[in-house]
Structure 1
Amino acid sequence: MAVPWWAWVAVIAFTLALLALDLFVLHREAHEVSLREAAWMSAFYAAIGLGFGALIWVWRGPESGGEYLAGYLIEKSLSIDNIFVFALIFSYFAIPAEYQHRVLFWGVIGAIAFRALFIALGAVLLDNVDWIVYVFGAFLVYTGVKMARGHSVEVHPDRNPVIRLMRRVIPVSDELRGPRFLVRDAGRWVATPLLAALVAVETMDVVFAIDSVPAIFAITDDVFIVFTANVFAILGLRAMYFLLAGTIPRFAYLQTGLALVLVFVGAKMFLTDVGKLPVWISLGVIAAIIGTSVAASLLHARRTPPPAGRTGS
C-alpha cells in the first residue's frame, strides 16, 4: 500500500516536535536525570511508540500493524546493547551525569539521520538486487551466532578511526567546558570531551544500525513501517539508558535472546522464496524469545548472591 506524502510529513513533523519539547522544555538546563524522571520518560515514549502501532493497525489493517509492532520490538530490544556501550563511552571520556543527556540527545538526531540513510539504501538494494535478501539473511545469522558465543561489540575510543581523524582536524581538550561541544581557546577552535563522546556514540550507532535495519527488513519491506518503527524506538533510547544503565549486568541471558532473534529473522530471509511466514507468528516468536530471556535473567539475578562487600536490597 502506497503511503501518501502527508503521512511522511506528519511523522517527521511530530518527531521534530518531540525533539524540540525535549531540548527546549524538559531539558533546557543541564541536570542529572533521576530514576523517576527516566521512568516516566520511558513510559511516555513507549506509549507513543505503541500508540503509533495502534494507529497503523486502524489505518492500514492488522497485517501492517503487526509488522510495525514486530519491527518496533526488534529495534527496542537491540537498543539495550547500545546502553552498555554508551555507559562505557561516558566512562572513558569522564562525562558527568548532568551532561550525558545532551550527548545522547544529539546522538539520537544523528542516529535517526543514519537510519534513514541505511533504510533508503536497503530498500533500493532489495528492489533492484534479488539476491541481496540472502546476503542480509546470512549476515543476520552470522551476527546472531557470533553474539550467542559471547562476542559483543568492543569499545575502544582510542582506536576509533573517526575519533583519530577528528583529533587531526581539530584539537581535543582534556577538560570539559560545561555543556559546550566546541570552545575558542587562544584564538582557535578546540573540541571538548563532550564532542569526542558524541562522535564515539554516533560511530557505534552506525555499527548497531547495520544489524537492526536488515532485521526489520526481514519482517517487512514497507519502508514507512521500517522507518517509523526505528524512529519511535530510538526516541525512547535516552530514557531507557538512564533507566537501565546501572542494571544491564542483571540481564545475563538477554544477549542470548537477542542472538536467537537475529538468527530467526535471518533464517526468515532465506525462506523468502518458499513462502512468507505470517507476521503474527513472527511477532509471537520474537516476543516469546525476548520475554523468556528477560524472565530467565531476572530469575538468575534473584538467585545469584551479590558480590562480596555488597549487600542486596
Structure 2
Amino acid sequence: MPFSLLTTNVSLNIWLITIVVIAGLLAFDFFFHVRKAHEPTLREAAIWSAIYVSIALLFGVVLWIFGGHGMGVDYFQGYILEKALSVDNLFVFVVIIASFAVPRADQQKVLLFGIVFALFARAGFIFLGMAIINTFSWAFYLFGLFLIVTAGRLLAPEKEGDDDADNFIIKLAKRFLRTTDHYDGDKLFTIENGKRVLTPMLLVMVAIGGTDILFALDSIPAIYGVTDNVYIVFTATAFSLMGLRQLFFLIDGLLDRLVYLKYGLAVILGFIGVKLILEALHENRLPFINDGEPVHVFTFSPYMSLAVIIGVLTLTVIASMVSPKGKMISAVRALHRHAHAYNNTAYHGDAGDHEVHYEKMLASETALMRFDQAKIGELMKETGTDWEVEQARRNFAGNAN
C-alpha cells in the first residue's frame, strides 16, 4: 500500500485551500466565540455543533462528487471513526477541567487550545505515518497489531487515578516553574507577591496537550486502517475536531450516559487492526511470510468497513441509553466525577465554586437511591467512588470547622 503525496490525486492548490479554510474556521471560532470569556448556552452550542457537522458532511459530499465514490466512502469512514474517538477524548477533558476547577466561562479557551494542539499533533503523526508506510513494507502489520493491543487496553478495567490531571508533566512544571493555585481570569501568567508566575490556566493546557499526544498515537494508525490517502486522513481528522468545543457543552451532561462507548471503540479498533493485517497479507512483501508472495486472504471492502463502524457505534449508543446497568454505571460515574472535583481543592479560588461540586455530589448520591443498593455498592467499590465520596465528606467537615 505504498503511497505519496502525488498519488492522492490532490493538487498542491487544493491542499493550500483546505488548510486556509481550516485555519479560517479556527480563527473565526476564537475571535467570535472564545476571545470574550462566557459560558455558551445550550442553544448556542447546539446551533454551532450542527453547523460544524454540516460543514464536515458537505465537504464529504463535495469530495464524493469530484473525487469519486472511493474517496467519498473513505472520508466518511475516517470522519465517523475520528469523531467517535474525539467524543471518547472528551471524557478525559471533563476530568482534567474538573480537577483544575477551570471556571465555566473560561473552559472554551482551554478546549479550543486542546483542539488546535490536537490538530498540530495529529498532522505531525499523519505525515510521520505516511513516511513510515512509504519506507517500511511491514508498517501495516505493526499498525494492525498496535490497534489490536489498544483495543485490549480499552477493555481492561480502569485503574484508580488513571485520569488524574496532576500527572508527571504537571508535577515537573510545579517543581521547576513558578506557579500559583489561583486563576486570574483566562490569563496564562499573573503577578503574585511581586513576581510573574504561571496560572492554573497554563497548567491545564499543558495537561490537555499531553493527553492529545497520547490520543494521536491511537487515532492515526486507526484512520490509516480505513484509507491510505493522506489528504483524506488529514481532512477527516481535522473536520472531526471542528466543533468539538461546542459538542463538549452540548453533551456535557450526556457524556456519563455513554458508558459502553469504550467497548464499541474497542470492537472498531480491533476490527480495523485485523483489517490492516489482512490487507498487509494480501499485498505481502516480507520474505519470511509465504516466501515474500501475497497471501490470498479475505479483505473487507470500504463499504463493509463503513457499515461495521456505523453499526457498532449505533448499537453502542443505544445500549448505553437503554441498559439498566448502563444507567447505574452512568450515575456512579457522575458521582465519582463530582466528588473528585470537590477533592481537588488546590485550584478553587472561589469558595462558592468549590461548594457547587459538593452540592452536585449530594444530588448525584440522591439519584442513586432509585437503583438496587447492593449493585450500586459493588460498582462504587469497584470504581473507587466510595473512597472518593468519603474523602469529600471529610474535606467538607474539615472546611466547616
Shorter-chain TM range is: over 0.9
Equivalent of 2:144 in 137, 142, 167: 137
Aligned length: 311
TM-score by length of 1: 0.93
Equivalent of 1:280 in 276, 299, 303: 303
Deviation at 1:22, TM superposition (A): 1.1
> Hey, what does 2:162 align to over in structure 1?
154
TM-score by length of 2: 0.73
> Hey, what does 1:298 align to over in structure 2?
321
Query: For residues 239-292 of structure 1, what are the alpha-carbon distances to aligned partners after superposition, in whole Å with 9 as ceiling and x for unaligned?
Result: 111112221221122111111000000101110132652111110110000011
Q: Gaps spanning 5+ residues in structure 1: where?
A: none
Equivalent of 1:190 in 182, 189, 197: 197
Equivalent of 1:109 in 113, 116, 129: 116
C-alpha spacing 1:67/1:252, structure 2 compared with 1 (3 Å): same
C-alpha spacing 1:186/1:8, structure 2 compared with 1 (3 Å): farther
State the distance in 1 between where 2:260 and 2:185 align: 38
C-alpha spacing 1:290/1:176, structure 2 compared with 1 (3 Å): same
1:16 aligned counterpart, secondary structure: helix
Letter in 2 for 1:197: V
State the distance in 2 between where 1:95 and 1:102 align: 10
Say if 2:35 and 2:109, in contact at 8 Å, map to a contact too.
no
> Hey, what does 2:274 align to over in structure 1?
267
State the distance in 2 between where 1:252 and 1:157 align: 21
State the distance in 2 between where 1:120 and 1:58 align: 26
Equivalent of 2:219 in 207, 212, 218: 212
Equivalent of 1:50 in 24, 48, 57: 57
Say if 1:170 and 1:189, in contact at 8 Å, map to a contact too.
no
Deviation at 1:299, TM superposition (A): 1.4
Say if 1:252 and 1:300, in contact at 8 Å, map to a contact too.
no
1:102 aligned counterpart, secondary structure: helix
1:229 equivalent in alignment to 2:229: no
> Hey, what does 1:200 align to over in structure 2?
207
1:309 equivalent in alignment to 2:366: yes
State the distance in 1 between where 2:213 and 2:168 align: 13
Deviation at 1:188, TM superposition (A): 4.1
State the distance in 2 between where 1:66 and 1:301 align: 35
1:157 aligned counterpart, secondary structure: coil
1:91 equivalent in alignment to 2:148: no
1:241 equivalent in alignment to 2:240: no
Deviation at 1:146, TM superposition (A): 1.9
2:137 aligned counterpart, secondary structure: coil
Structure with greater contact order relative to length (CA < 8 Å, sep ≥ 6): 1
2:190 aligned counterpart, secondary structure: strand
Query: For residues 18-43 of structure 1, what are the alpha-carbon distances to aligned partners after superposition, in whole Å with 9 as ceiling and x for unaligned?
Result: 11211112333100122221111211
1:59 equivalent in alignment to 2:82: no
Deviation at 1:161, TM superposition (A): 2.6
- Whichever of the two has the greater Rg, that structure is 2
2:196 aligned counterpart, secondary structure: strand
State the distance in 2 between where 1:265 and 1:215 align: 7
Say if 2:321 and 2:327, in contact at 8 Å, map to a contact too.
no
Question: Percentage identity across aligned positions?
Answer: 37
Letter in 2 for 1:247: L
State the distance in 2 between where 1:258 and 1:151 align: 15
